[in-house]
Amino acid sequence: QEPAERALALVGRRQLDRARSDARAFVVEGSAGMGLLEGKIAIVSGVGPGMGQAMARTAAQEGAKVALAARRQALLDEVVADIRAAGGEAIGVSTDVSDQAQCDRLAAATLEAFGRIDGLVNSAYVAGESGPFEGGNVESWKQAFDVN
């Protein structure tokens, strides 16, 4: 199965079309015939099994060089390999977005690999607690705010 087909299976056509539409903010004037994100550099966080991965794959298919972030390096390596096999450029940096030092490391690795950063897709997510704040686990709420 092609990477695009796998991404579609993960998030559905409607969500992927919405992500593609949102990406139009990066369009380069005079880029007719080129990918929507040709020549752009994007960091995509939350490259797990859902939307973050689909957006990363779509950005790469549209010509962006992508720096991928997730907590699991093995998953990042798999997605990076798929993007490169399809002719794209990508790096994967294991990152917990709630840790500033790890975010700094991600930015530095992106700058080293690609020379600049044009956009960020902040797709990392943690559910946290649901229900009233009163009596809830403060650390769980803090983690949800830090990540989301």
pTM above 0.85, yes or no: no
Average pLDDT over residues 136-146: 75
Instruction: Tell me the C-alpha distance between 70 and 95, whole Å.
Output: 5
Q: Has residue 1 got a pLDDT over 60?
A: no
Helix (H) or strand (E) holding 118: none
User: Can you give the pLDDT at residue 60?
Assistant: 95
> DSSP string spanning 73-95?
HHHHHHHHHHHHHTT--EEEEE-
Instruction: Tell me the C-alpha distance between 33 and 25, whole Å.
Output: 17
Structure tokens, 74? 């093995």
In tens, the pLDDT along 72-129 reads: 999 999 999 999 999 999 999 999 998 999 999 999 999 999 999 999 998 887 777 7
Nearest to 44 by CA among 25, 28, 58: 58
